[in-house]
């Protein structure tokens, strides 16, 4: 539906234009619209879009800048980072930390000239800016932006909604809904390739006392701080979720129970040694389980949760391993 709307707009713009060269250029934009709305991710769509711009108008040296309140700023540019790319990022982004995505278009990267900036999206959640070298193509890019703006805005709005649907509002971690989806994927992968994965369930000990003694605002600070510290303590391949309340889940792909136990001990030890706020110390209880053939996707979570409650019963601030199919 979005593709049909965008192409219809494109055809109206082309029909109104009396300049044959411009109409031909606008016809090329059909490909950018289709690519933009057909890619599986926003990241892939923006790379394809900048690549098409750079191939169609090499001297324009296009760059797209995405500023989002919920994630790192991103730059997608055909400029080489050490030959104008870094300078352009500083010009547009200032000192904002930005992930630089170099887009190769063949041949030598173009040089940076006098730049013009065109705003594609300006919403409370996201800004998207197109930066190009100024030249004879300026008018065409302005027309291109008119066509692209609705498509890019819808794409980014969808990404924001998707982010909201799968992220916990307080901690920014993946949520229970995301865990359900990713467990299914891990189960399929484990069955197909004969691999395994483990689950770690982590719960703050005596969290109610923190809320009762210091207030819920301090409790929220502890939850957010713990989420950041757990994420920094586990491996990059591991996925951390807020399971609910003061309970967290960690999905450990391609990880057997022995390695999961070592990671759990590392998390428990890290938490025990951390001053969270104004000298406040906490501990966590952890249950772990490994996926076994014949289990449902969610069964390891149930097992790890049983391990968690066993750790609570046995004195807290400890790790309990659950083995086998229960």
130-183 pLDDT tens trace: 999 999 888 888 888 887 888 787 777 766 656 656 778 888 888 898 898 889
Please enumerate in sequence order all residues whose Cβ is within 8 A of that of 244, keeping only pairs 6 or more positions apart, or say none. Answer: 176
Please enumerate in sequence order all residues whose Cβ is within 8 A of that of 258, keeping only pairs 6 or more positions apart, or say none. Answer: none
More confident residue, 38 or 307: 307
The CA-atom distances, in angstroms, between 26 and each of 21, 109, 215, 304 are 9, 24, 59, 57
* φ, ψ at 307 (rounded to 5°): -65, -40
DSSP annotation of 84 reads I
**Rounded to an integer, what distance in angstroms lies between the CA atom of residue 285 and that of residue 91?**
48
Residues labelled catalytic: 246
Residues linked to residue 322 through DSSP beta bridges, in sequence order: 289
The distance from CA 138 to its chain's CA centroid, rounded to whole angstroms, is: 33
pLDDT digits (tens, 9 = 90+) for 233-288: 998 788 899 999 999 999 998 899 999 999 999 999 999 999 888 789 999 999 99
With a cut of 50, say whether residue 125 has pLDDT above it.
yes
pLDDT digits (tens, 9 = 90+) for 41-83: 677 788 888 888 888 888 999 999 999 876 678 999 999 999 9
pLDDT digits (tens, 9 = 90+) for 85-105: 999 999 999 988 898 998 888
Give, to the nearest 10 degrees, the angle between helix 216-233 and helix 257-272: 140
More confident residue, 167 or 20: 167
pLDDT digits (tens, 9 = 90+) for 171-197: 888 889 889 888 988 898 888 878 899
Q: What domains appear along the chain, each with residue ranges and CATH number?
A: 2-166 (3.30.450), 176-322 (3.30.70.270)
Q: Copy the structure tokens of residue 200.
A: 């770690």
pLDDT reported for residue 162: 61
């Amino acid at each position: 539906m979005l593709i049909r709307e965008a192409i219809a707009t494109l055809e109206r713009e082309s029909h109104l234009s009396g300049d044959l060269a411009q109409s031909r250029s606008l016809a090329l934009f059909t490909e950018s619209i289709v690519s933009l709305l057909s890619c599986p991710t926003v990241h892939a769509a923006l790379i394809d879009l900048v690549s098409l711009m750079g191939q169609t108008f090499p001297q324009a040296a296009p760059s797209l800048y995405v500023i989002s309140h919920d994630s790192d700023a991103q730059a997608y540019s055909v400029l080489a980072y050490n030959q104008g790319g870094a300078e352009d990022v500083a010009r547009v982004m200032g000192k904002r930390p930005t992930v630089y995505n170099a887009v190769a278009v063949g041949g030598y990267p173009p040089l940076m000239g006098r730049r013009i900036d065109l705003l594609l999206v300006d919403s409370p959640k996201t800004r998207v800016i197109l930066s190009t070298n100024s030249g004879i193509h300026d008018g065409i890019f302005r027309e291109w932006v008119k066509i692209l703006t609705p498509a890019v805005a819808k794409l980014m709005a969808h990404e924001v909604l998707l982010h909201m649907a799968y992220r916990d509002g307080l901690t920014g971690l993946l949520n229970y809904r995301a865990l359900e989806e990713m467990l299914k994927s891990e189960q399929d992968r484990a069955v197909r390739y004969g691999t395994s994965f483990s689950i770690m369930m982590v719960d703050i000990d005596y969290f109610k006392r923190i809320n009762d003694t210091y207030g819920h605002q301090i409790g929220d600070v502890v939850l957010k701080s713990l989420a950041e510290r757990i994420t920094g303590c586990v491996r990059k391949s591991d996925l951390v979720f807020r399971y609910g309340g003061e309970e967290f889940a960690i999905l450990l792909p391609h990880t057997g129970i022995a390695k999961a136990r070592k990671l759990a001990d590392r998390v428990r030890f890290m938490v025990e040694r951390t001053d969270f706020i104004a000298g406040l110390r906490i501990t966590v209880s952890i249950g772990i389980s490994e996926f076994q053939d014949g289990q449902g996707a969610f069964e390891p979570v149930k097992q790890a949760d049983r391990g968690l409650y066993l750790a609570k019963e046995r004195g807290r601030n400890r790790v309990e391993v659950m083995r086998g199919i229960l």
